[in-house]
């Protein structure tokens, strides 16, 4: 029983650590004024917007087996 409690505690700590890293990274990228709301294409820098609009980065219409969005990238279109 104690080893199960320890395992659950360790898993919760790891999940909390990942969550904190996620929010730290999002704040670093978008700043505190944008990080805690839904991010849209308008929140990206102009260079990043051009990469998306050039077809270099696409959000595919289907999701993976876990329900996550799939992003497809064509590197040769990034610099156009």
Write the pLDDT tens digit of every residue in 46-59: 888 887 788 778 88
What residues does 2 pair with on adjacent strands?
none
Q: What percent of the chain has pLDDT over 90?
A: 44
Q: Does an H or E element contain 60, and which?
A: strand 57-63
| pLDDT computed for residue 49 by the predictor | 84
Q: How many CB atoms lie within 10 A of CB 51?
A: 20
Q: Which pairs from 5-11 meet CB under 8 Å and 24+ separation? A: none
pTM here is 0.57
Distance CA 34, CA 30 (A): 6
Using the predicted structure, report yes or no on whether residue 39 has a pLDDT greater than 70. yes
| pLDDT computed for residue 59 by the predictor | 87
Could you give phi then psi for residue 9, rounded to 5 degrees? -65, -45
């Amino acid at each position: 029983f104690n080893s199960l409690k320890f395992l659950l505690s360790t898993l919760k700590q790891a999940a909390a650590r990942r969550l904190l890293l996620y929010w730290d990274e999002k704040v670093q990228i978008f700043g505190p004024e944008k990080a805690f709301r839904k991010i849209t294409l308008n929140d990206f820098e102009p260079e990043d917007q051009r990469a998306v609009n050039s077809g270099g980065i696409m959000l595919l219409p289907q999701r993976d087996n876990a329900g996550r969005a799939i992003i497809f990238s064509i590197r040769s279109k990034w610099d156009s």
